[in-house]
Structure 1
Amino acid sequence: MALAFQVAGTALLPCNPLRAAALRGAPTPSSRRISLRGVSPRAEFHLRPLPYEMDALEPHMSKTTLEFHWGKHHRSYVDNLNKQIEGTDAERYNLSELVLKGYNNGNPLPYFNNAGQIWNHEFFWSSMCRGGGGEPPAKSEVLELIVKSFGSYEEFAELFKRAGATQFGSGWVWLVLTRDAKLEIVKTSNALTPIVWDHIPLLVVDVWEHAYYLDFQNKRPDYLAEFLDHLVSWQAAGERLSRAKAFVNVGEPVIPDL
């Protein structure tokens, strides 16, 4: 079943990631500059601005980490993807389509890794905010579903951190909404993203070494604890859940932009 996914919006204000793009006219993750080459349009991806200032997540994630992680690693995926798809039929696809088509039923096409890493990173940036972390607000839909799915927030947090600590090598840890409207913790390696399995991501943490090594060295568990305690945006996760859950409940084949 083909799904249409798009990364959640970003924020200017602490923990308000979904209204920010409209406030500042930020481009969508699949925004491109279009130029004419003969009679065929050429689409080019661009590095999307962060949803906060470089030092907004300090002291929990340093400005230096963001300068390298977003400014160099993320940028390289964008540059490499543009080179890979130039002059091919893939130029006509948006980012989500590139990820889904590039996965190719488990036989990834050459551009999949760069497209997947761009999608994952944009989702990661918007999964964090200044002043975030801790338990989701009392009586919030996301907390209620966490308790229903895992027994308690504390149990969820332990499982999430354990998943991140035990992910071998590079990868990602996700909280997803499944097609049967349940929450699950999913680990993916390298550039894989759970949208290729019809899961709907609510939040993600990057466990590639470049995401945490400057701040935490080899102490990945400390980084994961800092993410949950001080960085995760439960407002973003809750709004993603509210919009996605309605479509899961009615069995729609296409998920609205997240």
Structure 2
Amino acid sequence: MAYTLPSLGYSYDALEPDFDARTMEIHHSRHHQTYVNNLNAALKDHELSSLSIDDLVTQLDKVPADKKVAVRNQGGGHANHSFFWKNLKHGTTLSGDLETAIKTAFGSVDAFKAEFEKAATSVFGSGWAWLVLQNGQLKVVKTSNQDSPLMGEAISGASGYPIIGLDVWEHAYYLKYQNKRPDYIKAFWNVVNWDYASERFSQAK
């Protein structure tokens, strides 16, 4: 069973002006598609390709040594982006149990945003910033390249169940924001799909 590029579920211009349509189109139809193509090539005719993408990246120890780097990078890219697209939407509001949990964990929503922005800004080169649920506690973590917290501390340097995530590879923002990554990170708060994040949090508790 081959992995496939998921539909965004919205148009490429749906996140304007915060995330521009041209970047979204290239990011989804080219970058993400490339991860899918390369992952399928790496696992061609292999039984591991029957796993869901999240299950695959949590079980890298089962991947043959000669395929592990490709599956980590390409599978991580597919898993992270498949999550990222669902994580984006205009017009939702942080509320309910997730808002309460964020205030409990970080002291305030503003303090959480500041910690998240610091993590996203401080990723050297390419990577991701995440809000995860880790052993019942909300944490901000970051990963390099296409590593995911689902891979665990030993591989990615982070662990936990992703609640929100932000791609800080330059391909995610360079057409609009050029080298101004902090501006892109600030714009992210306008497009976080808090409804989806709340669903994730409820499922993980």
TM-score (norm 2): 0.90
| Counterpart for residue 195 of structure 1 | 150
Report SS of the residue matched to 1:111.
helix
2:51 is aligned, of 88, 93, 98, to 93
Report SS of the residue matched to 1:168.
coil
| Counterpart for residue 185 of structure 1 | 140
Deviations 1:29-81 (A, max 9, x none): xxxxxxxxxxxxxx111111102111110011111011110010000001111
2:117 is aligned, of 128, 150, 161, to 161
CA contact (8 A) 1:124 1:204 kept: yes
Structure 1 residue runs without a partner (length 5+)? 1-42, 246-258
| Counterpart for residue 196 of structure 2 | 236
Report SS of the residue matched to 1:147.
helix
Give the residue type in structure 2 aligned to 1:124. F
- Correspondence 1:1-258 to 2 at 5 A: 43-102=1-60, 108-132=68-92, 136-137=94-95, 140-179=96-135, 181-197=136-152, 199-228=160-189, 230-245=190-205
The Cα of 1:104 is off from its aligned counterpart by 5.9
CA contact (8 A) 1:103 1:196 kept: no
The Cα of 1:103 is off from its aligned counterpart by 5.5
Report SS of the residue matched to 1:44.
coil
Deviations 1:217-257 (A, max 9, x none): 010000000001x1001111111111110xxxxxxxxxxxx
Change in CA separation of 1:214 and 1:123 when aligned onto 2, cut-off 3 Å: same
Change in CA separation of 1:103 and 1:208 when aligned onto 2, cut-off 3 Å: farther
Q: How far apart, CA to CA, are the structure 2 residues paired with 1:178 and 1:104?
A: 23
Q: How far apart, CA to CA, are the structure 1 residues paired with 2:62 and 2:115?
A: 30
Give the residue type in structure 1 aligned to 2:15. L
Report SS of the residue matched to 1:231.
coil
Q: How far apart, CA to CA, are the structure 1 residues paired with 2:17 and 2:178?
A: 15
Structure 2 residue runs without a partner (length 5+)? 153-158
RMSD: 1.7
Deviations 1:10-39 (A, max 9, x none): xxxxxxxxxxxxxxxxxxxxxxxxxxxxxx
Give the residue type in structure 1 aligned to 2:23. T
Give the residue type in structure 2 aligned to 1:189. S
Q: How far apart, CA to CA, are the structure 1 residues paired with 2:126 and 2:61?
A: 18
Deviations 1:140-196 (A, max 9, x none): 1111111100000011111111111111010000000111x1100010001111112
Q: How far apart, CA to CA, are the structure 2 residues paired with 1:94 and 1:121?
A: 14
Q: How far apart, CA to CA, are the structure 2 residues paired with 1:103 and 1:170?
A: 24
Give the residue type in structure 2 aligned to 1:83. A
